[in-house]
Structure 1
Amino acid sequence: MAITEDDGAAGGKAAAPAQAAQWLARHAGGRSAGMTLAVGAGLGVGLCVIGQAMGIAWIVHSVVTLDLSVMQTAPSIAAVAALMLLRGLLQYLQQRAAGRVSQQRIGGIRSALLAHLHAAGPARIAQWHQADLASRAVHAVDAIGPYIAHYRPQRVLAVAVPLLVGIAAALHDWLVGLLLFVSAPLIPLFMTLVGWGAERLSTRFEKQRARAAGVFGDRIRGLLSLRLFNAEDQATRQVRAFSNELRKDSMRVLRVAFLSSAVLEFFAAVAVAAVAIYVGMGLLGYLEIGPAGALSLYSGLCVLLLAPEFFAPLRQLATHYHDRAAALGAAEQLAPLFELPAMPARHSEDARAAGAHAAAACHAVSLSRTHGRVLHDLAFELPRGQCLLLWGPSGCGKTSILHLLAGHLAPDTGHIEVAGGAPGRPGSVAWLGQRPFLARGSIAHNIGLGRVQASRAEIEEAARRCGVLDFAAALPDGLDTRIGEGGIGLSGGQAQRVAVARAWLTQAPLTLADEATNGLDRDAAASVIQALRTLCEDGRSLVVASHDPDLKAIADHVLPLAAWQP
């Protein structure tokens, strides 16, 4: 089964490669004490490598050429052993310091992402699939970790360490040093050429992973519908097809990553072989080119040991070059989320007073969307303790008005006041959506989400006033009866009454209800309307968006809205 861009849940957009690179440099780059320590430890490892090579070459030279005994070379052997131990300690320090920086940066990026999504508000992130957001917040952010821990320090070491090793080799034989320095630029050149393909494949892999998460999430949420329509086999085939495509994309990325390592290994092997041939022919006296005739066992063995170490940092860079491609692919998925505009943040003194009696007021408010103007010169005042019904057909802007009052959106023109201040202030409004959010847990727990510090007595009072006890008393454990995510185990009307009780518990002066009776039968709708009436009887203000005529019974004011015409 071929997977097309239209299959599955629609994912969010991705950033351009240049924009992703800038975002990655801004959030994952920058200097830090930990990264400086990691690079310094890596340079120390390089110096230890040079010392080891010189020490081993001197020991062999002393035993073979100078006829020294093993005991006479004991100080040199001890020095080499100490360098090996120091090299291991520095490698551990390098990995630990870089890993700590990576964890700190990853935690900072994830915290900043969650804070930005919270600041953007529900109205702006509603266009993104929940599974897509979760995949980006978890997998995409984690994909940046290896880039910070491995690629960034190795990028510096791949230049500094070969330079030190090359200079040490040149001091013993300038022709070998020249050969190493001439062959070195070929490796990053071909790595870059191969890396372009790796970046493209990594970006595709991140997109496929986000889309696969959305498809799987949709199928899980729709298990009941799939069962009713006997479509489980079809859904299973679709999930399996997405999994196979994701597996193939993962293997494509790995193939390119192995190709970049193979390119480096080829050029490194050729260069080391050339050095070995040069040293062997020089020691045998078959070469008289440059310093070849003056080669000794010490100098020849030393440059022969240094030649592989010259390419070792570049080999590690090739290993971690895939981490850079994966991080760029993740950055293309994360950058658009950081571009979402935040909800309007206004101080209470910015709102014009509409009178101390007003629970909510709009003055000459206009709002436009991508398809045209939704609201034009909207004006109303809602006195405290009363109910306003936003009446009209679908598409007339009822939900948009609720989002404006909640502070999720900012009007193009005009100004809004909620409970004597600007909209969006914490605790100023309570929200009742068409499909109320209910977490897995007890009914009492879901009511208590309205105010986490509420006592059991306050939760029971909210349940009594809003009619939750009317049906909870017949349940096995009453308010402690556990329900599933999304209200599984409750009817639509019962779930709405739990949501109303939660809104009552928040003690917010204004409650916003969006189609609270949508999809309910007459009896269930009547129980929800009675629960909403309780809010007004307790002095709360209520704005309800609906086209249900039964809600007019509790409305003090009705604001008719006409459907928008393009």
Structure 2
Amino acid sequence: MPNLTAKQWLRDIIVPARHAVRLAALAGSVAGLATVGILVALATVVSALLIDGRGLLELQSVLVWLVVGITVRAVAQYAQEVWGAQASTQVRRAVRERLLTQWAANGPLRNAEQSPAERASQYVEQVEALDGYVARYLPQQSITVLVPSVILGIVFYLDWLAALLLLLSAPLIPVFMALVGMGAERINQQHFASLSRLSGHFLDRLHGIATLQVFGQTKQAQVTVARASDDVRQLTMKTLRVAFLSSTVLEFFASVAIAMLAIYIGFGLLGYIDWGPSPELTLFSGLLILLLAPEFFQPLRTLAQHYHDRAAALGAAETLSKEPSEAYVAGQPTSIESVETNTDAHDDNAIVFDQVTLTFPERGTLFQGFNARFEHGEIIGLAGPTGSGKTSLLNLIAGFLNPTSGSVRVNGRATGQVPLAWMSQKPFLVFGSWADNLRWMAPHASQRDMLDAVEQVGLTALLNSLPQGLDSPVGEDGRFLSGGEAQRLALARIWLSDAPWILLDEPTAALDAESTQVIADCLGRLAAQGRGIVLSAHDGDLLQRAHRVVRVGDPEAPNKAEQRTLR
């Protein structure tokens, strides 16, 4: 799907919250109309007291309407805030869910194009930038159309010359709002890009702090981080300067228009102006026009203030609306329909490569017309020199890569449609307990199941030595565990899963002989359960356990496979 523009993307994401936005706009309009009613009641009271000489007791009905108007206005303003916040919450939740879904669908290769810090900035700061746009700016658009129109109609009824003055001055605010907004949008885009770069820069330095200390570069790292932070500070202040400048300009034009209207009404009431509708001005009409004039400009001024929320949202949308580049995607995704149409019943328990070609612009062609079939219950070893394409084959099976031509079917379906278990050289372990990590792929696993899985990978002795047992802590990325222990804990997690296929990328790299032996034995028992295992390895002992070894990267026989028997 082609990338949407920022404005198209914003229109798309507000669809789930459109009802709440309309309710917020309706409540804001009711509050504005209630304000008009309050001002009419005030002008009536003042005129009755000063001109007609009536007492307050004679104005009870007007005072009741005044109290009712104040109450309605307060309730409507509260409702506007509630519905605006509800709309904003719906939109931000939907955008975050969309981001998580997109990142999950992209897979690790495409996500590697963006640092975790940049993704965190998107998930937090850039999504939060949508709040003001949805909660305040969108409802205010409707309010700005309705309330000033009603006020203009009332003023036109009272004095058409005053209404003409309001009508001529009103467009100045939107014009300058748009002029300033264009610059604010560009600055906000630069601000979010700079903030994302700072997040990535800081995280990189944090990850490499040990190396920086070894080479004595911590001071230099502090200088570079400080310089990047100062760039963000300058952009932030530039954004604030634009906001304050635009507010000042808009307030100036509104104040000038109100002042001109006050001069006209004052001179008209004093009799210095006797042309047009001026002679017909009364205390009631003149006071009401003066009271309504600020309220005529108020929705426009509020919209101008929230226009910066729109600029911030457009700046965030410029990044959020973009899909990752196709640098790691060799071809187009295989359609599920075409895969299911070409399947046979005997493909339901196999991985089938059908004339697969994989080409990268930077590396050339890795596979040309590759054909292979991996059955359930087999251990398939992928062997070959570094860079020959072993990991690329695993990525094709997992659906992280799309073939340039040909197709890959997993159990008769398109890649990505069948659950797989994946374990790399550095397994993914979360901060938590042993039980938290074991239940990552089997949320409903019982304690007995987890203990059995730990026994299968030879970690029972280690677990028994820990006073908290399965509740013992595991640090992020396997901290508190050795490399072999972390690999075996990840394998125990796979044991608990019901994934029919297990993909392993160099599972015994940099492990000692004992850990390698335990992992090899566990893989044999998994295969005996009827699971299919595809692994890449340089380890000759591990490859000896494979039923078949596929030699990858042989230019003379790219599809060559050797039969092995499981020892």
Hey, what's the Cα distance between the residues in 2 that align with 1:356 and 1:103? Answer: 46
What is aligned with 1:557? 548
* Displacement of 1:453: 1.5
What is aligned with 1:86? 72
Residue 306 of structure 2 corresponds to residue 320 of structure 1: yes
Hey, what's the Cα distance between the residues in 1 that align with 2:461 and 2:234? Answer: 55
What is aligned with 2:28? 42
What is aligned with 1:393? 385
Contact 1:360 1:383 in 2 (8 A): yes
Residue 13 of structure 2 corresponds to residue 23 of structure 1: no
1:414/1:352 CA distance change after superposition, 3 Å = farther
Aligned to 2:476, the other structure's residue is in SS state coil
What is aligned with 2:251? 265
Residue 271 of structure 2 corresponds to residue 285 of structure 1: yes
Hey, what's the Cα distance between the residues in 2 that align with 1:519 and 1:238? Answer: 35
Equivalent of residue 120 in structure 2, options 102, 122, 134: 134
- The letter for the 2-side match of 1:438 is L
Contact 2:148 2:297 in 1 (8 A): yes
Aligned to 1:544, the other structure's residue is in SS state strand
CA deviation vs aligned residue, 1:362-384 (integer Å, no higher than 9, x gap): 22111233434332111222343
CA deviation vs aligned residue, 1:20-69 (integer Å, no higher than 9, x gap): 11111121258833333222222222322222222222222222222222
Contact 1:419 1:510 in 2 (8 A): no
After superposing the two structures, state which structure 1 stretch, 467-476 or 445-454, moved more: 467-476
What is aligned with 1:147? 133
Aligned to 2:370, the other structure's residue is in SS state strand
CA deviation vs aligned residue, 1:68-116 (integer Å, no higher than 9, x gap): 2233333323322321222112211222222222222222222233223
Hey, what's the Cα distance between the residues in 2 that align with 1:385 and 1:238? Answer: 54
Alignment of 1:93-492 (within 5 A): 93-337=79-323, 346=336, 349-350=340-341, 352-353=343-344, 355=346, 359-371=350-362, 372-419=364-411, 421-427=413-419, 429-492=420-483
Contact 1:467 1:527 in 2 (8 A): yes
Hey, what's the Cα distance between the residues in 2 that align with 1:356 and 1:323? Answer: 54
Aligned to 1:83, the other structure's residue is in SS state helix
Aligned to 1:72, the other structure's residue is in SS state helix
- The letter for the 1-side match of 2:393 is I
Contact 1:552 1:558 in 2 (8 A): yes
Aligned to 1:136, the other structure's residue is in SS state helix
1:478/1:78 CA distance change after superposition, 3 Å = closer
Q: How many residues align?
A: 549
Aligned to 1:179, the other structure's residue is in SS state helix
* Displacement of 1:131: 2.2
Contact 1:143 1:327 in 2 (8 A): yes
- The letter for the 1-side match of 2:488 is R
- The letter for the 2-side match of 1:173 is D
After superposing the two structures, state which structure 1 stretch, 389-398 or 257-266, moved more: 389-398
CA deviation vs aligned residue, 1:146-168 (integer Å, no higher than 9, x gap): 10110011112112211111121
Hey, what's the Cα distance between the residues in 2 that align with 1:443 and 1:37? Answer: 49
Aligned to 1:197, the other structure's residue is in SS state helix
User: Where does the alignment leave 5 or more consecutive residues of structure 2 unmatched?
Assistant: 556-567
- The letter for the 2-side match of 1:405 is I
1:203/1:515 CA distance change after superposition, 3 Å = same
Aligned to 1:71, the other structure's residue is in SS state helix
User: Where does the alignment leave 5 or more consecutive residues of structure 1 unmatched?
Assistant: 1-14
* Displacement of 1:534: 4.0
Contact 2:366 2:553 in 1 (8 A): no
Hey, what's the Cα distance between the residues in 2 that align with 1:248 and 1:494? Answer: 48
Contact 2:410 2:418 in 1 (8 A): no
CA deviation vs aligned residue, 1:544-564 (integer Å, no higher than 9, x gap): 113333432222222222289
Contact 1:41 1:91 in 2 (8 A): yes
Hey, what's the Cα distance between the residues in 1 that align with 2:149 and 2:554? Answer: 72
1:530/1:230 CA distance change after superposition, 3 Å = farther
Aligned to 1:244, the other structure's residue is in SS state helix
Hey, what's the Cα distance between the residues in 2 that align with 1:359 and 1:512? Answer: 14
Contact 1:170 1:177 in 2 (8 A): yes
Contact 2:17 2:90 in 1 (8 A): no
Contact 1:191 1:263 in 2 (8 A): no
CA deviation vs aligned residue, 1:135-189 (integer Å, no higher than 9, x gap): 2122222211210110011112112211111121121111110000000111110
Hey, what's the Cα distance between the residues in 2 that align with 1:483 and 1:282? Answer: 82
Contact 1:451 1:506 in 2 (8 A): yes
Hey, what's the Cα distance between the residues in 2 that align with 1:538 and 1:205? Answer: 55
Contact 1:350 1:422 in 2 (8 A): no
Hey, what's the Cα distance between the residues in 1 that align with 2:293 and 2:184? Answer: 29
Normalization by structure 2: what TM-score? 0.89
1:169/1:370 CA distance change after superposition, 3 Å = farther
